[in-house]
Amino acid sequence: MYARRLAPLLAARGHRVWLAAQEGSWIAKATQGEIPLFPTSFSRWPLSEVDRVAAFCRQEGIQIFHSHLTRASNFGALLKMRHGIHSIAHLHANHPQLHTWFHDRVLAVSKDTLRRHRYYLAGLGKKGAVLVNFVDPKQFHPTEGRGDTLRALLQVSPTTPVVVVMGRICSRKGQDLAVKAWPDVLRTHPEARLVLIGQGSLSDNLLHTRGVSMLGHRDDISELLAHATICLVPSRDEPFGLAAIEAMACNVPVIASEVSGLADIVAGGAGASYPAGNTQAMSRILIELLSDGQARASLAGAGLQRAQTTYSPSVHLAELERHYAEVLGLA
């Protein structure tokens, strides 16, 4: 998703950008007509595919291979070692990867992600830097009079409190923890709804919890999120937390677990936090904020300001271009 949002913005700033991806992949389809595709499977063995991509880079004058997933980053490391093509690996996950030793630069989405890689991979040193994600204000912004599509979809009244959790349903994202905490919330706010947006399903014992709705994958997340009462990010581990800054940009207050990059996002009053995995603390802070509209407005205002400054595309792109220039020896 980061690469899908980044590529057109770089092109709009005058850079020549190609998307290296598999034909038929979702990102290839999503950027069709916007960014030229160079099809590759990122197959490293035998080395013929590495050599083919390197030849294309030389032919088109491509100076930097900027990778985002482990398979692509391993491929980028080989491009650099075998053909001298500049390589930048972007770390969107916390688990350390050996390929990080071989790039010109390694960018991490949070301080914690970079710290973990430096701890486990001695020698990363000055090659590593933090570059936090950005949010698109054209897509994610306050409601500004838009109709309440969220409550219309849920078929509830305009005053119903709705807590939204976004992301693929899995253990790392912690949706099961939110559902386990929800009965405590209902004791104080029986009309409130917990809404899970994202692919996947809950275990059978949680599937029919009262007051919980599952909307599955949605293409209109920004429209729905803007009308949430609270955005909850209950992750057990989170290198960054894109859902949190998207909610902030929509002027929606954020409650997040104190893990990795999430802790940095909500620090200083931009959101509320609780100890990761603690469902009692989660339900307690949900109850407090659902009962206090002024506190919600204060958190939302602080979060919106941070989204518009720290997580703006212009700030992100300027910092990324600085890394590009340094890798190319232009700075």
Q: What is the pLDDT of residue 292?
A: 97
Asked if residue 7 and residue 100 are part of one domain, the reply reads yes
Distance in angstroms (rounded) separating the CA atoms of residues 125 and 263: 24
Q: Are residues 259 and 323 in the same domain?
A: no
- Classify residue 24 by burial, with Cβ atoms within 10 Å: 0-12, 13-18, 19+: exposed
State how far the Cα of 189 lies from the Cα of 285, in Å rounded to an integer. Answer: 13
Determine, yes or no, domain membership for 86: yes
Give yes or no: residues 235 and 105 share one domain: no
Q: How many other β-carbons are positioned within 10 Å of the β-carbon of residue 8?
A: 14
Whether residues 206 and 267 share a domain: the answer is yes
302 located within any domain: yes
Looking at the structure, do residues 158 and 284 belong to the same domain, yes or no? Answer: yes
Q: What is the CA radius of gyration of the chain?
A: 21
Q: Are residues 94 and 60 in the same domain?
A: yes
Tell how far CA 105 is from the center of its chain. 21
Same domain, 181 and 52: no
For residue 122, the model assigns a pLDDT of 65
User: Can you give the CATH number for the domain in which 69 is found?
Assistant: 3.40.50.2000
Identify whether 139 is part of a domain: no
Structural domain harbouring 189: 149-309
Q: How far is CA 253 from CA 62, 94, 239, 323, in A?
A: 42, 26, 20, 33
Q: What is the pLDDT of residue 151?
A: 96
Residue 255 domain-assigned (yes or no)? yes
Together in a domain, 175 and 289: yes
pTM of the model: 0.91
Strand order through the sheet with 162-166: 212-216, 193-197, 162-166, 230-233, 254-257, 272-274
Residue 144 inside a domain? The answer is: no
Number of domains in the chain: 2
Residue 18: inside a domain: yes
Res 126: pLDDT: 67
pLDDT the model gives residue 58: 96
Residue whose pair of structure tokens reads 């897509």 in the numeric block: 139
Is the residue at 140 inside a domain?
Answer: no
For every residue of 216-238, DSSP letters joined together read ES-S-HHHHHTT-SEEEE--S--
Q: Which two tokens stand for residue 272?
A: 């509320």
**One domain, residues 102 and 203:** no
Whether 250 and 294 map to the same domain: the answer is yes
The per-residue pLDDT for 145 is 72
- 190 and 68 fall within a common domain: no
- What pLDDT is stored for residue 118 in this prediction? 84
| Residue 68 falls inside a structural domain | yes
Q: Give the separation between CA 329 and CA 250, rounded to whole angstroms.
A: 39
Q: What integer pLDDT is reported at residue 120 of this predicted model? A: 80
Whole-number Å distance between alpha carbons of 204 and 198: 17
| The pLDDT of residue 117 | 87
State the 10-residue block means of pLDDT for the chain, 331 residues long.
93 96 94 95 94 97 95 96 96 87 93 87 76 94 86 96 97 96 97 96 91 94 95 95 96 96 93 96 98 97 96 96 95 70
C-beta of residue 235 within 8 angstroms of C-beta of residue 262: yes
Q: Is 322 found in the same domain as 184?
A: no
